[in-house]
Amino acid sequence: MAKKKLTLAQKYHIYTRGLDWEPTYVSKKDIYPYAEYEGIKIKDWNKWEDPFRMTVEAYWKYQAEKDRRFYAILDGFIQNQGHLTLSDARYLNSIKLFIQGVTPLEYMAHRGFAFVARHLPGPGPRTAAFFQSMDELRHTQIEVHAGSNFNKYYDGFHSMTLMHDRVWYLSVPKSYFDDAVTAGPFEYVTAISFSFEYALTNLLFVPFMSGAAYNGDTPTMTFGFSAQSDESRHMTLGLQVVKFLLEQHEDNVPIIQRWIDKWWWRGYRLTSLVGAMMDYMLPKRVMSWKESFELYIEDQILEGLFRDLERYGIRPPLHMEQSIKEKEFLSHDVYWILFSFTFAAAFHSWIPKEEEMEWLAEKYPRTFNQYYRWRYEKAKQAKTPLPGDRFYYIGLPQLCQVCQIPMGFTDPDDPNNFVQRYVEYEGEIYHFCSDGCKWIFEQEPEKYVQAWLPVHEIYKGNCFAEPPKGPDDVVPQVLKWYNIQTDNFDYFVSEDYKNWKEWHKDMATVVV
Amino acid sequence: MPVKALYNYKFPPRDRAEVFGDDILVYAYWIDNPFFCSASAWRVPKNMKWKDFVAQIFGQLYGLDPDFKKVKSWKWYHFDQEFNPSDEKTLAELGLRHKSIVKFKPA
């Protein structure tokens, strides 16, 4: 009699679980020391349903095929002098932020998932995390390769890893991921697989890749396509992780809820940088931050995902209401911060052109003309001794203890002021940009009192290449330590702009 | 709620007052003027006179606002409490401490 054939799901179940064994001379607790301390209770790892069925053999084949396509397109772009056919060199400032801020996070995600792949006691999720760990390493690699061609021609691409560790605005993404990888494996997967990959990734990737396509950046667009199929796997893993944990034990529900509350706000604050890029840095715009927030967060996540999670006893994240209230302010606040401190950044900023201001006013009819346009008018008057015919904030900002962004988030109920919160904890004062960040601090103050805040570190003397020779030498020594060379200041006094004009001087079509 | 950890998770705050010795960090914020994208941060001696502190923050930063010179006098707050600092007193004498915030607006 012929043997009964296994279904694909059964086959995969045996394939992944078949790599696991019951230890006999070492206790399970010694093998998986991180499995219990977070308080998550798992009754039966076998209830884990594989969110996708990927084998190592298929993985190599599939990714190699995608890589071949990617590198062929990259070669074509380079041979065709693609760096000249972008919409405008201003576009690349968003790619600089991406390379400096996001690419190193892909690498951290690779490490984080390697940790999860080692430390979760269930072989099913371990296998899934293993594939994601490889994905993240590959994403790091191809993002670097996609950006490296630009490094030959433009500023801001030359020192991503060092800058990620040191530069003030990059402490925002860095501290976000450091927070995640210093948590236990269950919080990590909830933070990254669920809250980031499932709930926020569309907000990051879709506008970013469409922005690349609109602005003539084929390598970044192709990277996006290549990563997209992996991302969909990551998203299904995120949802499966959370559902599995919720189904395993009712005691898990409040723990997961608290992590969702925390990581929603952490991730949301992080993506505010994307808002600034979308609304201000793309010469050809795709959609506004507000439109993207309404589509991906309000419609898909709030109305879709969280309706679906209600039956597990999960409610929408705490402080979600505040993000909705902020949606007409957020991107403007963050670009205004980046604009103000461009003298110390490895990218350029600029006063939006008149037609760009009109676009902003049209997309934000209740806020842009009322609260933001006048700042740029004033910025033309308020000149400083620094290069660029406009205002820079000659000083250091107060930073939020948790998200580490300068405390410049408008209070929607009092739009001429920023939200400011503080608490006293064990005799010391801590300041926050929002109720969300304050709440996160209060959950785990012991963690955030250790924050490496770039402004305070400068004041402690920890960020100088050499001891400054006087007050005027302070910023130059910090910039040297950041490895910022000609990467800073206004776009219209930059090497990028000078070169772009030079390269296009015989072309009638160029936008300058 | 404490951090959940496998060991006693307790570390000194990275920016505690003692790290700054005789100095303190003070934040300054111009109320109702979002031209300055956030409050500013300053490392200053505790014994700095109020007038010198004001001269520093106005001279370096807030004077850059073209509307600054239109202001004849200022109203001050320590955190959210109104206060009337006298020029010759030191920051410490005025009750400022490490990570205090002073706010101001045209009187």
Average pLDDT of the segment spanning A434-449: 98
Hunting for tokens 């898909």 — which residue is that? Answer: A300
Higher pLDDT, residue A202 or B49: B49
Give Cβ neighbours of residue B20 (< 8 Å, ≥ 6 apart): A459, A460, B43, B98
Distance CA A426, CA A445 (A): 10
Average pLDDT of the segment spanning A318-345: 97
Mutation site for A-interface testing, chosen from B8, B14, B15 by largest number of A Cβ within 10 Å = B15
Distance CA B60, CA B76 (A): 19
**Cβ contact B37–A333 (<8 Å):** yes
Query: Domain containing A203: what range?
Result: 8-502
DSSP character string of A218-239? HHHHHHHHHHHHHHHHHHHHHH
Cα–Cα distances in angstroms (integers) from residue A256 to residues A18, A116, A145, A179, A512, in the given order: 30, 17, 37, 16, 51
Report pLDDT digits (tens) over A244-275: 999 999 999 999 999 999 999 999 999 999 99
Which chain B residue has the Cα nearest residue A385?
A: B64
Q: Where are the alpha helices (DSSP H) in A422-494?
A: 435-443, 445-448, 454-459, 474-482
Mutation site for B-interface testing, chosen from A420, A431, A439, A475 by largest number of B Cβ within 10 Å = A420
**Cβ contact B40–A398 (<8 Å):** yes
- Per-residue pLDDT at A512: 46
Share of chain B above pLDDT 90, in %: 98
Q: What is the DSSP letter of A487?
A: -
Residues of chain B positioned with their CB less than 8 A from the CB of A332: none
Structural domain contains residue A223: yes
Q: What are phi and psi of A391, to 5 degrees?
A: -80, 140
Residue A227 pLDDT more than 50?
Answer: yes
Give the mean pLDDT of chain A.
94
Distance CA B34, CA A421 (A): 17
**Cβ contact A446–B66 (<8 Å):** no
CATH of the domain at A242: 1.10.620.20
- Per-residue pLDDT at B46: 98
pLDDT band at B1 (very low <50, low <70, confident <90, very high): low
Burial of B68 by CB count in 10 Å (0-12 exposed, 13-18 middle, 19+ buried)? middle
Cα–Cα distances in angstroms (integers) from residue A401 to residues A172, A406, A416, A455, B13, in the given order: 11, 10, 22, 11, 11
**Cβ contact A451–B14 (<8 Å):** yes
Domain spans in chain B, listed from the N-terminal domain onward = 17-106
Residue A4 pLDDT more than 90?
Answer: no
Report pLDDT digits (tens) over A390-432: 999 999 999 999 999 999 999 999 999 999 999 999 999 999 9
Closest Cα in chain A, distance from residue B105 (Å): 12
Q: Where are the alpha helices (DSSP H) in A312-460?
A: 320-326, 330-340, 354-363, 373-381, 435-443, 445-448, 454-459
- Per-residue pLDDT at B107: 94
Which of A400, A81, A205 has its CA nearest to residue B39?
A400
Q: For this complex, say whether ipTM is above 0.90.
A: yes
Average pLDDT of the segment spanning B40-64: 98
Reported pTM:
0.96
**Cβ contact A416–B6 (<8 Å):** no
Structural domain contains residue A509: no
Closest Cα in chain A, distance from residue B42 (Å): 7
Which chain A residue has the Cα nearest residue B56?
A: A395
Which chain A residue has the Cα nearest residue B16?
A: A428
Average pLDDT of the segment spanning A200-219: 89
Residues of chain A positioned with their CB less than 8 A from the CB of B105: none
Distance CA A18, CA A432 (A): 49
Report pLDDT digits (tens) over A462-478: 999 999 999 889 999 99
Tokens at A328, concatenated: 């007409």
Q: At what angle do helices A252-276 and A435-443 cross, to 10 degrees?
A: 140
Average pLDDT of the segment spanning A191-202: 90
Which of A212, A224, A330 has its CA nearest to residue A268?
A330
- Per-residue pLDDT at A348: 98
Q: What are phi and psi of A492, to 5 degrees?
A: -80, 0
**Cβ contact A455–B41 (<8 Å):** yes
Strand partners for B102: B28, B78
Mutation site for A-interface testing, chosen from B4, B29, B37 by largest number of A Cβ within 10 Å = B37
Query: How many domains, in total, are found in chain A?
Result: 1
Which of A121, A315, A113, A297 has its CA nearest to residue A203?
A297
Closest Cα in chain B, distance from residue A367 (Å): 13
Give Cβ neighbours of residue A190 (< 8 Å, ≥ 6 apart): A241, A242, A245, A256, A259, A260, A263
Residues of chain B positioned with their CB less than 8 A from the CB of A37: 4-6
- Per-residue pLDDT at A260: 97
Residue A201 pLDDT more than 90?
Answer: no
Report pLDDT digits (tens) over A9-38: 888 888 888 878 899 999 999 999 999 999
Question: Nearest CB to B32: which of A381, A416, A442?
Answer: A416
Question: Nearest CB to B41: which of A37, A337, A397?
Answer: A397
Residues of chain A positioned with their CB less than 8 A from the CB of B33: 416
CATH superfamily of B17-106: Phenol hydroxylase (3.10.20.560)
Average pLDDT of the segment spanning A231-247: 94
Residue A5 pLDDT more than 70?
Answer: yes
Residues of chain A positioned with their CB less than 8 A from the CB of B4: 37-39, 184
Strand partners for A490: A349
The number of C-alpha atoms within 13 Å of A30 and in the hemisphere containing its C-beta is 6
Report pLDDT digits (tens) over A104-130: 999 999 999 999 999 999 999 999 999
Closest Cα in chain A, distance from residue B59 (Å): 10
Cα angle value A218/A223/A225 (rounded, 5°): 95
Question: Nearest CB to A394: which of B1, B9, B64?
Answer: B64
Question: Nearest CB to B38: which of A339, A408, A450?
Answer: A408
Which chain B residue has the Cα nearest residue A38?
A: B4
The number of C-alpha atoms within 13 Å of A99 and in the hemisphere containing its C-beta is 26
Size of interface A-B (CB pairs under 8 A): 133
Distance CA A283, CA A210 (A): 13
Structural domain contains residue A507: no
Question: Nearest CB to A398: which of B19, B33, B41?
Answer: B41
Question: Nearest CB to A407: which of B2, B39, B65?
Answer: B39
Cα–Cα distances in angstroms (integers) from residue B7 to residues A37, A262, A410, B12, in the given order: 10, 23, 40, 16
Distance CA A239, CA A309 (A): 10
Q: What is the DSSP letter of A86?
A: S
Which chain B residue has the Cα nearest residue A341?
A: B37
Give Cβ neighbours of residue B17 (< 8 Å, ≥ 6 apart): A428, B24, B97, B98
**Cβ contact B101–A398 (<8 Å):** yes
Question: Nearest CB to A418: which of B1, B19, B38?
Answer: B38
Closest Cα in chain A, distance from residue B32 (Å): 5
**Cβ contact B29–A420 (<8 Å):** yes
Cα angle value A425/A427/A428 (rounded, 5°): 70
Average pLDDT of the segment spanning A318-326: 97
Structural domain contains residue A121: yes
Closest Cα in chain B, distance from residue A468 (Å): 16
